[in-house]
Structure 1
């Protein structure tokens, strides 16, 4: 299956990082979180790891594909999500957590890193 806007000839490249957005469903507060590939950061009670971020080479601002692992900081360190999230289709493979939501906004590239992203 080819995603809308992505042809079979689209070249996808890896980025050095990503910008994720986190939502605390209780307070309604959103936070944009910059990540480097391989970095693990806390968001609320969650621990989020960015393993990879890919984007179309000819249009880095269009779509991002991020491989994430999301666990909860608890005694059992429950894993809530592990897989690919797609920026332009966040509902396709969402985090299913009762309090928090996390999704990918875009990959961080040299072009976007200098502008706060």
Structure 2
């Protein structure tokens, strides 16, 4: 019975070790203008703002996986639209995930932003 408890504890520790995030300095984002079908790759640095059309993308954090793990990226962003009414909330605020873009995404009629990777 004791070996079962040890096995359960060992297996429980595996997912936690496989989910370690590493802070990165910048993010590579894919921006889409839905009207013109123009796709642009944007390099954004943590703590800086990048623009695409009427959007301002403030990258607050970018986390990646270590090289020995399955590649993934997560970026914390606040995206504002200069065409929004004064006092309107940001168009997006939160984490975006490269491997699960549908989990938390920008809902905008003209633009789409997606995280490709953190560097």
TM-score bin (small chain) = 0.7 to 0.9
**CA shift for structure 1 position 36:** 0.8
Residue 3 of structure 1 aligns with which residue? Answer: none
Q: What is the aligned length?
A: 103
Which segments of structure 1 move beyond 4 Å, counting only runs of 4 or more? none
Q: Is 1:71 the equivalent of 2:84?
A: no
Query: Which has the larger Rg?
Result: 2
Question: Please, which runs of 5 or more residues in structure 1 have no aligned partner?
Answer: 1-5, 109-117
Please give the TM-score of this superposition, normalised by the length of structure 1: 0.81
Match of 2:116 among 94, 105, 110: 105
Give the unaligned 5+ runs of structure 2: 1-13
Higher helix share: 2
Determine the structure 1 residue equivalent to 2:31. Answer: 22
Structure 2 CA distance for aligned equivalents of residues 39 and 8 of structure 1: 31
Over aligned residue pairs, what C-alpha RMSD do you find? Answer: 1.8
